[in-house]
Amino acid sequence: MSVWSRIPWFLAALPATAFACFALTVSSADEDFPTLTKRLQAEKPKFTKRQQALLAERYDLADRPAIFRCRIPTTKRAA
């Protein structure tokens, strides 16, 4: 697949990306920094809880010792 065949996909995605960036910029410009900081600090426990749930779903987070298995030869090799 050549680069020229990918250009229509890029041109189709460009307006959506520009709109999303513009929307994020406009929404963040509505509040000043101290207000933004207070709002994000108030929302932090909610995000932490959601992230911990995602980690628990994806990984085994149980607190138990790891099992290390090493192979010890039972016979000596001839030199």
pLDDT in tens, the chain (79 residues): 566 676 676 667 667 777 666 665 655 568 889 998 999 999 999 999 999 999 989 987 778 777 766 666 666 666 5
* Residue-range definition of the domain harbouring residue 52: 32-58
Total domains in the chain come to 1
pLDDT at 62: 79
Report if residue 46 sits inside a domain.
yes
> What's the pTM?
0.40
21 is a domain residue: no
> Across the chain, which distance is largest between two alpha carbons, in Å?
79
SS3 16: helix
Would 7 be classed as within a structural domain? no
User: How far apart are the C-alpha atoms of 61 and 68, rounded to whole Å?
Assistant: 18
pLDDT at position 41, please? 95
Q: Which residues of 8-20 are buried (b: 16+ CB within 10 A; e: fewer)?
A: eeeeeeeeeeeee
Whether 69 is covered by a domain: the verdict is no
